Amino acid sequence: MNEPSQADDPSLQLPLPNDLILWRRVPKEKFIRVTDADGSTRVRPSSDSFADNSRDGSSMSVFDSLACGGLSTICEGHEGFGVVGLTVGQIREAGLEIVRTPTGGPGHCEIVGKKTGSIKNKLVKSSSWVFVPEQTG
């Protein structure tokens, strides 16, 4: 079934400046624990959180944080998911492009380009948690 198109979504016309923050949902199955040099640990997304969509081969989905309707909108129906943020500039620095799409809801964008291990690792390290579900630790 095709997703409904939002071709008249006004956010489709908005620019994508380098300082715009994009949000990416991360399922809890992709939370991993990192041990730092001082022995402390923290939780971060696995690099596979920045892979393309396996269902239809489309590029990785993100949301314009200013045009998507807020965290509650993009997390609706995705209980237990976390959300990470990274800027348009950080994504461009990794050699990828961002395009707005008429599907996927208001503010929906796709990150286009080949995502090698190195590029996914750069995205992981550029990203930071915007929302972490409870009982993650």
In the complex, the smallest distance separating the C-beta of residue 110 from another protein, rounded to whole angstroms, is 12
Please identify which residue in 6, 46, 87, 103 interacts with another protein, judged by CB under 8 A: 46
Please identify which residue in 7, 8, 15, 54 interacts with another protein, judged by CB under 8 A: 54
Q: If you search the block for the tokens 């998507």, which residue do you land on?
A: 68
In the complex, the smallest distance separating the C-beta of residue 88 from another protein, rounded to whole angstroms, is 21
What is the rounded CA–CA span in Å between residue 22 and residue 108? Answer: 9
Please identify which residue in 48, 66, 95, 99 interacts with another protein, judged by CB under 8 A: 48
**Which amino acid makes up residue 5?**
S
In this structure, are residues 103 and 6 in contact, taking their beta carbons and an 8 Å threshold? yes
Please tell me whether residue 33 binds another protein under the rule CB under 8 A.
Answer: yes
* Residue whose C-alpha is closest to residue 60's, from 9, 115, 102: 115
What is the rounded CA–CA span in Å between residue 24 and residue 41? Answer: 22
> Which residues, 86 to 125, sit near another protein by CB under 8 A?
116-118, 120-121
Please tell me whether residue 34 binds another protein under the rule CB under 8 A.
Answer: yes
**H-run or E-run covering 88:** helix 88-93
Stretch that binds another protein, among 3-11, 52-60, 87-95, 127-135 (CB under 8 A): 52-60
**Which amino acid makes up residue 95?**
G
In this structure, are residues 86 and 103 in contact, taking their beta carbons and an 8 Å threshold? no
Interface with another protein by CB under 8 A: which residues?
25, 27, 29-30, 32-39, 44, 46-48, 51, 53-56, 61, 77-78, 81, 116-118, 120-121
